[in-house]
Structures are given as C-alpha cells and as structure tokens.
Amino acid sequence: METSIIASCAIRGHQIFLNGTLRYEAPAAASLTEFLVGAYRHFGLSYPKFFKMDVLCKLAFLTAELLLPATGILDRLDAGGIGVVLANRSSSLLTDLAHQQSIQEADNHFPSPAVFVYTLPNIAIGEISIRHQLSGENTLFVADAYSPDTLQAYVAQLLAEGSCQACLCGWLEAGLTSHETFFYVVESHEPSSTTRRPHHVPALETLYAQPLY
C-alpha cells in the first residue's frame, strides 16, 4: 500500500483556503467570531450546534467541514476506518480564561457548564467525530509548534498497521494573539502511477509553507 496526502485546508488570519485556493475572506476589521460565523453562513452550513462551540472548536469544525467532503473518504470508507490526529500548542486557553474569570471573584461566581465543557482541546476532535460520525482512532498532541515529523510518523504507523484507512491530521491553534488551522487528509491506496502527493515530511513542509497558506 502507498499513502498520499489527498487534500488540505487551512485557516490563516481571516482567510480560508482549500487545496491552496482562497475560498473565503472576511474584512480585516471583523472580529474572530464574526469571521467564523461569516464563513459558516458563506458556505451555507446548517449545524446549529456550531454556535455553542468555542473558538477552537469553531476553527476545527469549519476546517473539517470544508476538507472532508472534498476528499470523498466519507463516501468510500467505513467511519471506523477514519482516524483524527491533531496537535495544538495553547490547548483550550481562550476558554480556560473565560472559565477562570467565572470563578475568580467570590461575589461574582458563575461557572457555566457550557463553558467548562470546552476547557479541553480534544473536544474539537469530539465535535468533528460527532459531526461526521467518525469512530476511528484519535489523539491530540501538545506541541510547541507545528511539527510534521511527529505527526507524519504517528499517522504513517496508524495507516501501516491498518488501524485506519485514512486520517484527518493537522495543527489546530487558538492563542491569545493568533489562531491557525492546517488540516490535511492522508489515505492508504493501491500503488498508483498517477501523480499524487506522498505522505512524507518534506511534502507536509511544502504544503504548510505554500504562499497561499
């Protein structure tokens, strides 16, 4: 079997790219939430739970929402055969702060279950899995920065041992001053002579660094 990167999707600043093409852009003056909700409307999505999600999950949800249909894997693979492996630096920091604020002052104490739920970064994997009914392997690494080496090695092993036939992978970040997603799908397939992007580290580096992203 061979493994290839079959599609990619990224959110950088107020722009969303699918396979290297700009698909949506919000004005620079828009807030992050305005940008995310604007994208949801622009793509005509209908998933009311989106509005309950925190920023990290909204980022993950939108990226997966554009990327997965573009791959066709949801149609040709069993949901148990699709893994989700993400890495992240700031965990759920933005929501952590909101929760901390809610318990900070004795006379203004209002912790909310709807906030606390999102104080874990792997909830984003849960949201994607629920939306697309993916029951395959999933994990989330905490890393200083996007590190294709770790992700590539781990995902290559998942595919090699047959734990999954395809894997949604990437970097998911919502920090105090910036946010970013870079997701791609890797799939196992029969050896093929047609041009494909092999699943190796240089290809991931190139993809991540391409000017439009």
Partner 1 sequence: MEVYVTGIGMISALGANVPTALDGLKLGRSGLRPLHRVATRLQGRYVAGEVAFSDNELAMRAALPDADLTRTTLLGYLAASEAWQQAGLGAADTNRTGFISASTVGGTGHAEQHYQDFLDQKPTPAFIDTYDNGDSTEFISRRLGIRDFVTTVNTACASSANAIVLGTRLIQQGVLDRVVVGGTDALARFTLNGFNSLLLLDPTPCKPFDAQRKGINLGEGAAYLVLESEAVARQRGARPWARLSGYGLTNDAHHQTASSPNGYGLQLAMRQALRRADLAPAAIGYLNAHGTGTANNDVTEGQAIREVFADAVPPFSSTKPFTGHTLGAAGAIEAVISVLALTHRLIWPNLNFEEPIADHGLVPAQALHVAPGLQHVLSTSAAMGGSCCALVFSKP
Binding positions for partner 1, rule: CB under 8 A: 79-80, 84, 89-91, 96, 99-100, 102-104, 106, 109, 111-113, 116-127, 129-130, 132-144, 150, 153-154, 157, 163
CA distance 203 to 5: 9
As measured in angstroms, the least distance from the Cβ of 207 to partner 1 is 22
Between 2 and 149, CB nearer to partner 1: 149
Q: Report the SS3 class of residue 78.
A: coil
Between 10 and 84, CB nearer to partner 1: 84
Provide the token pair at 13. 């600043």
Q: Report the SS3 class of residue 57.
A: helix
Between 57 and 204, CB nearer to partner 1: 57
CA distance 165 to 150: 19
CA distance 97 to 182: 24
Is residue 83 packed enough to be buried (19+ CB in 10 Å), middle (13-18) or exposed (0-12)?
buried
Provide the token pair at 199. 């699943």
Between 106 and 209, CB nearer to partner 1: 106
As measured in angstroms, the least distance from the Cβ of 59 to partner 1 is 15
As measured in angstroms, the least distance from the Cβ of 92 to partner 1 is 9
As measured in angstroms, the least distance from the Cβ of 72 to partner 1 is 19
Tell me the angle at which helices 93-104 and 55-71 cross, rounded to the nearest 10 degrees: 150
As measured in angstroms, the least distance from the Cβ of 121 to partner 1 is 6
Between 107 and 190, CB nearer to partner 1: 107
